[in-house]
A and B are shown apart, each in its own frame.
Chain A
Amino acid sequence: MLAARTTTPSPLRLASAGSTEPVLDDAAASFAVTAMVEGLRRSDPAVTRRFFEMYAGRVERTLRRLLGPSDDMEDLVHDVFVDALEAIDKLREPAALPGWVTGIAVITAKRRLQKQYRRRWLSLSPTGVLPEQPSSPVDVESRAAFSSIHEILNLMRPDDKIAVLLYRVDGLTVDDASEVMGISSSTFKRRLRRGERHLLKLAKRSTTLRIWLGEDGRPS
């Protein structure tokens, strides 16, 4: 039994990517996405423009959720779109475009995380990356908790971290998350459980988060 997530899961395949998109039924959405893929393959400028408009927000959100605050977010989004447009001819199932783009974003994030993870020992900080401008949660306690969670997530194995964040924060279903990670559902569940255990273990070692969670491990 998988634990509760923080956001509502949304199916990837036929989901419209931008929040401003009108609600379409499955058949219409599938048709629209297929038409977009055909346009991208023809290098149609208007369709390509629409592709950027529809997917930039999704890609940026996925990267931000997986990597946390990053100074080079724009470069990473750029890399995802370059990879996607270069490989668009290899997309077998046009209706799978949304999940496929998310998959490229996940791979891009994973590459970055693996690099950070391997370089931890060479870096001055334990994680290799410090969030210079982490965020501005409303209160000091939340800000401290956020920073601690960010550091802990960066100590986790990249695959486990991605599994936890895709499921818990990005709100993907197990099937969608395992698909974008290119692994089986059972492997995904294993990584998710391992990641959650590791996250909780490290959180309980952190003074800030122990207080945040309460003495008995429950949230205060």
Chain B
Amino acid sequence: MTDPVARLLETYAEGLEAGPHESTNINRLEQRVRGTLRERASARKRTITRLQAGLAMAAAFALVSGGVAYQIGRGHSTPAATAAMPAGEWLSTTTGVAEERKFDDGSLVRLESESSARVQFVEAKGGLVHLDRGAVKLKVHHRDGSTWRVAAGPYEVEAIGTEFIVDWVANRDKPLRVSVTEGTVAVRGPAFRGTRFVSAHQMVEVASQESAAVASATPEPMPVAVDSLSPEAEAEAVAPEETTASAPRVRNEPSWRALEASGKYADAVKTAERHGLSGIYQGGAADDLLALARASRFAGRMDVAREALMACRARFSGSQQAAMSAFLLGRSASGAQAAQWFSAYLKEQPGGALAREALGRLVEAYQAAGDRVSSRAAAERYLKIYPDGPHATLAREALHR
């Protein structure tokens, strides 16, 4: 035989055939497949039941909140109408008038007076609100894996907790103001060189400054300072040495990052795949990996999201982003595996911005795994630190089981 490829592959084929391999046990295979199909069918049924229950609750909530809004509206000059808000709709308010819109997942957006915003898109577990000017208050309905984001100028605020206000006026001294009433948000943008987490009862403001360093392509004033952060949030801000490594990447931002930033997640992941995911896993900055994970999550590519997060943990061990990766891995896992990730986050960031959320979810995860002892321990710890936290009711239930 003169064809070397054929020779090589013939050797390979012979090796495969000669190798020890048991023929498939049809009985066992059939039983396993039937079992898996039954499990999947019942899981789908459970999901539909939960969805129906959720929709019924959402409808009830809409009725109640509509009634409350009406009652409140009667006593105030700024009635807030609540209605479903489809993707792509622009919403503008005039002086003295606020408007509320409700999303299908139960989350609520309130556009304050003299504001303008648009829901860029809505997905099964979240969406993106583009704030053109003014202030928007978002109350995110808490669900596993849900992610809502507000884009304001060059900034992006991602809801990790539940309730926050983003105020954006491009020509103001301090164009961006983010205040959080409940939970935690992640703020990203030119003033931060990374991700800034802002927790409940904290506020971050970004001041503008006319500077020679202002990028010519950026018409908005360059934000340079961050005010009103608590010591905790300052401590959790990205360390300078971590950010300098990623700074040059911002100048040569790969196109998948641009697509990700503009909300084209599926395209971003495809582009990243074309460029080579391995290269990003190996050479990307920690924030690149978190961004890739975020885009993948929205694009439904959980395999890529997981690998990006795993790479972040492997390469940036001990960093805030690695801890964040543990939290996100926990959020996409369930039961005992989720518990491991949330425990890892709490171990690495015991006083971190997401500590309350992680501890609450740890209680949930242990419950889902059927680990009552650990669930009670986590619940006790939660109630001791956060007696009024969003998971407090769940924690009390766990203690009384």
Contact = CB atoms under 8 A, between A and B. Distances in A.
A136 B20 contact: yes
Contacts of A163: none
28 contacts: A6-B6, A6-B10, A64-B16, A65-B16, A77-B24, A78-B32, A81-B29, A82-B33, A111-B303, A122-B314, A133-B19, A134-B15, A135-B16, A135-B20, A137-B18, A137-B19, A142-B11, A149-B11, A149-B12, A165-B9, A168-B5, A169-B13, A200-B8, A203-B8, A212-B8, A212-B11, A213-B4, A219-B7
Interface of B: 1-16, 18-21, 23-26, 28-30, 32-33, 36-37, 40, 277-278, 281-282, 303, 307, 310-311, 314
A136 B8 contact: no
A104 interface: no
Contact of B13 (A3, A65, A121, A133): A65
Contacts of B24: 56-57, 60, 74, 77
A165 B9 CA distance: 8
Interface in A143-166: 143, 145-146, 149-150, 153, 164-165
Consensus secondary structure, chain B interface: helix
B47 to A, nearest CB: 15
A72 to B, nearest CB: 13
A135 B19 contact: yes
A5 B310 CA distance: 40
Contacts of A69: 16, 19, 21
Interface string A92-105: 00000000000000
A81 B33 contact: yes
Contact of A219 (B1, B14, B16, B303): B1
Contacts of A209: 8
Nearest to A138: B18
Interface residues of A, number: 59
Contacts of A200: 4-5, 8
B13 A7 contact: yes
B12 A153 contact: yes
A22 to B, nearest CB: 19
Given A85-B37, A133-B20, A3 B26 contact: no
B288 to A, nearest CB: 16
Given A56-B29, A122-B314, A6 B13 contact: yes
A86 interface: yes
Nearest to B304: A118
Contacts of B303: 111, 115
